[in-house]
Amino acid sequence: MSKKFITAWLALLALMMLNVQPAQSMEGPDTATLDSLTDLFAPVSFNHAMHVDVVANDCAVCHHHTTGTKVTDERCARCHKNSGEANSVACRDCHNANPFSAENLQKIADAELLFHTDKPGLKGAYHRKCLGCHQEMGAPTACENCHTKTEKGEAFYRSGKFAPTPGKEPASE
Amino acid sequence: MKNLLDRRKFLKGGLASGVLASVLGTGKKAFAEHSFGGYPNSMGVLVDLSKCIGCRTCEAACNKEQEMPAPDKPFDDMSVFDEIRHGQKRRTSEKTHTVVNRYDVPGHDGPVFRKFQCNHCNEPGCLSSCFVNAYTKTPEGAVVYNEKVCVGCRTCMIACPFYVPAYKYSSPINPVITKCKMCYDTRLKNGRPPACVEACPQEVMTFGKRRDLIKLGHERIQKNPGKYIDHIYGEKEVGGTAWMYLSSVPFAEVGFNTELGDQPIVNYVKEFLTVVPMVLTIWPALFTGFHLLAKRKENQKESQKATTPSDRNA
Ligand code: SF4
Ligand code: SF4
Ligand code: SF4
């Protein structure tokens, strides 16, 4: 537990200085801290290097065509067969953190030629990508395998010290 | 389920065939024969069951947003999926506006989860059956309920084809119906998505204009051959609903009533409604006493005055 905690902190410190750690075998960080949506859960320390191994260096498994690798999904290939590297590989630069905000809905409505009208938001993109693969490969799939609840999170889920006890009013936030 | 079905059949069959009703002619409420189809710019939610992982975050989000009472079990306790009451899976109640249930579908890999709440019908059965007009369909798409006007007769509970409205038994003096509001007061009317929609980690629910969601739903079906049942539940059912569903297993397998038809509930009950004043004004009197009824009528007048004209006309 504490070891994990230290790793997370180190990763966070590294990110604060560099945003990413220097590459080893592949271009890309060894660890990435996913913390842009942190609220109910502590930041997730994502072992990027290990996942690069798992997908045998095929960046496109997660990064679509953005790293310059050829797309594998035929639905994407229809347009992106010859697409090169994108300006950014960060998920959040394409997947909106507030996909259903009035502004974003308006933006989609206004862009008549927009093809990606069904693009998931950031949280949806993370979970569908990660969990989809974890399910397929038999990797852990329970929420707590990746997420530690913050105190606010425990209050939200009414779990931990906020759990209801039969016949007693539970603690409030 | 059986019991409830029978209650509905009673309303639908027994009353629609009532000769008395036709003799009495048109009632106070005038209803169009055809489907109204909803406000053109109203919002909706497309729920893609194939993406739901049964984490119950949506239930927790609703509980917080709507300041609901404490649940019996934590929201990360998955044992609730095994609960069966009166032969049924969990349902909406005075303690919760939304539930997620698990279904084990033969031939399907792994369980299927289904989130459920009020579907915010285009032509709501609850609204049309309520003789004191406690319900309003807002132009944004939500079907909201005004407890100040309600007399607690519970007709809406029988009229809802999805058995959504719940009765607050914990407040017997002040009869209150509880149901999902599509987060109207706190979010929808300010252009924000419902709390459950926003909280879902899998983005199971897509929020947008209802007519865009229908397009999007059909596109999703088309672009993923073999993945979905070629049907959007709620596009046409009971005259169309604001909350609609996509599924990769037959809808009947995951608790949907696929025999409701496309006619709004009001088309079945409108003849019945012509006799409502006669029948139903007696019921609430029995339940709550004449005094209470009079008081509520007053309340209704007040709240009508208080509502802005645009609310009323829309
Ligand atoms: S689902 Fe039931 S409660 Fe909700 S609007 Fe329709 S009839 Fe009313
Ligand atoms: S729309 Fe709002 S009230 Fe309805 S289930 Fe979701 S969070 Fe609850
Ligand atoms: S939050 Fe989303 S994934 Fe979780 S149970 Fe609700 S609808 Fe399903």
CATH number at residue B106: 3.30.70.20
Tell me the nearest-neighbour CA distance from B276 into chain A, angstroms. 41
Residue range B212-263, pLDDT digits in tens: 999 999 999 999 999 999 999 999 999 999 999 999 999 999 999 999 988 8
* B15 or A80, greater pLDDT: A80
- ipTM of the complex in this document: 0.79
pLDDT of residue B270: 59
Chain B residues near residue A163 by CB distance under 8 angstroms? 74
- Asked if residue B305 has pLDDT above 60, the reply is no
Q: How high is the mean pLDDT of chain A?
A: 79
Query: For residue B185, what are the domain limits?
Result: 43-267
What spacing in Å lies between the alpha carbon of B159 and ligand 1's midpoint? Answer: 8
pLDDT of residue A111: 84
In a domain, B38, yes or no: no
In a domain, B30, yes or no: no
Ligand 2 binding pocket includes B144 (Cβ within 6 Å): no
Ligand 1 binding pocket includes B165 (Cβ within 6 Å): yes
Task: Select from B51, B70, B209 the Cβ nearest to the Cβ of A128.
Answer: B51
Please state the rounded mean pLDDT for residues A91-110: 91
What is the spatial distance between Cα B303 and Cα B146, in angstroms, rounded to a whole number?
9
**Cβ within 8 Å, pair A157-B223:** no
What is the spatial distance between Cα B303 and Cα B145, in angstroms, rounded to a whole number?
12
What is the spatial distance between Cα A171 and Cα A161, in angstroms, rounded to a whole number?
7
* Confidence at A87, pLDDT banded by 50, 70, 90: confident
- Asked if residue A95 has pLDDT above 50, the reply is yes
What spacing in Å lies between the alpha carbon of B246 and ligand 3's midpoint? Answer: 14
pLDDT of residue A167: 60
pLDDT of residue A10: 43
* Confidence at B20, pLDDT banded by 50, 70, 90: very low
pLDDT of residue B47: 98
Query: To the nearest whole percent, how much of chain B has pLDDT over 70?
Result: 73
In a domain, B86, yes or no: yes
In a domain, B293, yes or no: no
In a domain, B172, yes or no: yes
Nearest-atom index, ligand 1, CA of B120: 5
Is residue A94 a contact partner of residue B169, using CB atoms and an 8 Å limit? no
What spacing in Å lies between the alpha carbon of B197 and ligand 3's midpoint? Answer: 9
What is the spatial distance between Cα B64 and Cα A155, in angstroms, rounded to a whole number?
9
Count of structural domains within chain B? 1
Of the candidates A42, A2, A44, A48, the residue with the CA atom closest to the CA atom of residue A23: A48
pLDDT of residue B21: 37
In a domain, B25, yes or no: no
Query: To the nearest whole percent, how much of chain B has pLDDT over 90?
Result: 61
pLDDT of residue B160: 94
In a domain, B71, yes or no: yes
Is residue B53 a contact partner of residue B202, using CB atoms and an 8 Å limit? yes
